């Protein structure tokens, strides 16, 4: 296995993959540990945890990663309808129909292979003067031997 953190790999590959999605045009993408000055609209991709899947033995490089993506839009210059259109773009990009593209992004990175992406939940709220929607996914990946 490599010396890179599986959590960093997952965040960076998903950021790269989502940067090409037309439904997220104009949205700044950041990983969980980004030190960049963040501007709205933004999507923050955070791999909250990586654990061995319960049905696989430990030590083989297999991980079930819990990924949280939070999409923020400025409520002063974006309607809720526009924010939800961005949400739909993200949902479409992370859907089962998009799994081949996600797998290709991981393959192209050379750092890990993706087997599956499972949507978990979507929660919407207002944070100060911004729309904020949180998406949760389980991403099953394996590091190369």
Q: Could you tell me which residues come within 8 angstroms of residue 89 by beta carbon, excluding any fewer than 6 positions away?
A: 21, 22, 23, 24
Domains in the chain, start-ordered, CATH in brackets?
Answer: 6-142 (3.30.70.1700)
pTM equals 0.91
Res 127: pLDDT: 65
H and E: helices and strands count for the chain? 3, 5
User: Half-sphere exposure of 98 toward its Cβ, with a 13 Å CA cutoff?
Assistant: 18
* Digitized pLDDT (tens) for each residue of the chain, 145 residues in all: 455 799 999 999 999 999 999 999 999 999 988 888 888 999 999 999 999 988 877 878 899 999 999 999 998 888 889 999 999 999 999 999 999 999 999 999 999 999 999 999 999 887 678 899 999 999 999 998 6
CB atoms within 10 A of CB 27: 20
What angle do helix axes 6-18 and 99-109 make, rounded to 10 degrees? Answer: 120
Q: For the chain, how long is the longest CA-to-CA vector?
A: 50
Res 77: pLDDT: 86
Res 30: pLDDT: 96
Res 119: pLDDT: 96
């Amino acid at each position: 296995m490599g010396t890179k953190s599986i959590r960093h790999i997952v965040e960076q590959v998903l950021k790269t993959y989502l940067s090409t999605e037309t439904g997220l045009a104009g949205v700044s993408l950041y990983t969980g540990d980004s030190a960049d000055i963040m501007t709205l609209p933004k999507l923050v991709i955070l791999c909250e945890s990586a654990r061995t899947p319960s049905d696989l033995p430990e030590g083989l490089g297999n991980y079930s990663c819990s990924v949280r993506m939070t999409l923020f839009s400025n409520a002063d210059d974006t309607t809720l309808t526009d924010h939800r259109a961005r949400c739909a773009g993200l949902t479409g990009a992370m859907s089962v129909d998009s799994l081949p593209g996600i797998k290709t992004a991981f393959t192209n990175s050379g750092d890990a292979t993706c087997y599956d992406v499972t949507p978990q939940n979507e929660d919407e709220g207002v944070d100060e003067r911004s729309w904020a929607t949180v998406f949760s996914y389980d991403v099953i990946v394996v590091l190369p031997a």
